[in-house]
């Protein structure tokens, strides 16, 4: 499965506006009525990372290639989606195909924008969608349990394992709780079983995106809706990104040289979308390593815990197949040294072998032979 983040939420909370700003396109339709988005829109966006540009400047790189992440704009869900309401089956299927969820909640009042539930209440809205995902998971778990319960009772070892894990998951879901908030109740192999067999929607990592009005910028600190969603997120150990979709859209519609002035007018140091992208990247448990030289400075995306040969394989399969060693220096050390050449002269580059686990911010030159 491709690593990506699905943008979900009730209708008319600003999902498509945020998606359009993310991708700097008008690819996703924006309208003031439910189900404007039916088929999911997909966009690939660069991950903002100042380290890459500093490396490029230091090494006089001719080309800069940032890491990227894929976002998917999924249509708004409504109550009853787990029973097929509002094209629910299609929407749930779209969510099943993403790796993490960015849950957009409306934290602004606007009489001109209809709210599908009649009032602004981000915690209620979040719980509506969460409940639908829980009910969908419960249906899937119960169906699977029906298949394994008979062989489990007859002593089949594999079926007994499956039944025990499914019963545990069923109990949590019946209490209308998402599985991701109870992972401590499962062994690692049980989590892997669930992911590979029933593909639970509520095991996916979640971040909340609080969509506020321009008046509440920069952080919506005095906005009671933002406070409420932050309290919910804190209980779940989930990150919250506060932004104004309307302002984010304005930013991408004006020339780049004018954006700084608009940001400053709203008390912002950077677009809120930058934080959303970085949070999504972190949510997927991704890290970045760099290669840098005169021709190119590039950020490479890998899963946390990846070893050097597999990280090399992101560049080319030959690098992994013929891996000999990795010359490594972390970004912070390299900046202090002043350049790769100076770092080499000072003996700061480490030689790492096949068991080295690549760290975020490593600058690497791979030695290989095929």
CA–chain centroid gap for 219, Å, is: 21
DSSP notation for 285-318: TEEEEEEE-SSEEEEEEEETT-BHHHHHHTT-HH
CA–chain centroid gap for 62, Å, is: 30
37's tokens: 């988005």
Using CA atoms, how far apart are residues 318 and 62, in angstroms rounded to an integer? 25
Using CA atoms, how far apart are residues 184 and 244, in angstroms rounded to an integer? 35
Using CA atoms, how far apart are residues 131 and 118, in angstroms rounded to an integer? 19
- Max distance between CA atoms of the chain, in angstroms, equals 71
- SS3 assignment, position 33: coil
Task: Show binding-site residues.
Answer: 12-17
Residue 110, Ramachandran bin (φ over 0: left; ψ between -120 and 50: alpha; else beta): beta
Give the strand pairing for 206-211 and 100-106: parallel
Using CA atoms, how far apart are residues 48 and 67, in angstroms rounded to an integer? 8
Task: Show binding-site residues for ATP.
Answer: 12-17
């Amino acid at each position: 499965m491709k690593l990506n983040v699905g943008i979900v939420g009730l209708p008319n909370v600003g999902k498509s506006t945020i998606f359009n700003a993310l991708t700097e396109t008008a690819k996703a339709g924006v309208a003031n009525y439910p189900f404007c988005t039916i088929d999911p829109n997909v966009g690939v966006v660069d991950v903002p990372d100042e380290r890459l540009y500093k490396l490029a400047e230091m090494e006089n790189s001719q080309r800069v290639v940032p890491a990227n992440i894929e976002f998917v704009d999924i249509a708004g869900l409504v109550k009853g989606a787990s029973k097929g309401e509002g094209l629910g089956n299609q929407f749930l299927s779209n969510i099943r195909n993403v790796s993490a969820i960015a849950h957009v909640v409306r934290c602004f009042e606007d009489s001109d924008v209809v709210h599908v539930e009649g009032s602004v209440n981000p915690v209620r809205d979040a719980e509506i969608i969460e409940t639908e995902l829980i009910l969908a998971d419960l249906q899937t778990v119960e169906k699977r349990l029906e298949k394994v319960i008979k062989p489990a009772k007859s002593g089949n070892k594999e079926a007994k394992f499956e039944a025990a894990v499914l019963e545990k998951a069923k109990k949590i879901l019946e209490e209308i709780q998402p599985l991701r908030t109870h992972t401590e109740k499962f062994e690692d192999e049980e989590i892997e079983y669930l992911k590979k067999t029933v593909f639970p929607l509520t095991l996916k990592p979640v971040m909340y995106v609080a969509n506020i009005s321009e008046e509440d910028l920069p952080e919506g600190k005095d906005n009671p809706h933002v406070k409420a969603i932050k309290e919910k997120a804190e209980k779940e150990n989930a990150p919250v990104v506060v932004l104004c979709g309307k302002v984010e859209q304005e930013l991408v519609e004006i020339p780049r040289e004018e954006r700084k002035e608009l940001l400053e007018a709203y008390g912002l140091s950077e677009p809120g979308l930058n934080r959303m992208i970085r949070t999504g990247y972190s949510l997927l448990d991704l890290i970045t390593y760099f290669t840098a030289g005169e021709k190119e400075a590039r950020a490479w995306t890998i899963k946390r815990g990846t070893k050097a040969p597999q990280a090399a394989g992101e560049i080319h399969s030959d690098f992994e197949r013929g891996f000999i060693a990795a010359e490594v220096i972390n970004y912070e050390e390299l900046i202090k040294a002043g350049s790769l050449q100076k770092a080499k002269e000072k003996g700061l580059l480490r030689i790492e072998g096949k068991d080295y686990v690549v760290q975020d911010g490593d600058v690497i030159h791979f030695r290989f032979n095929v």
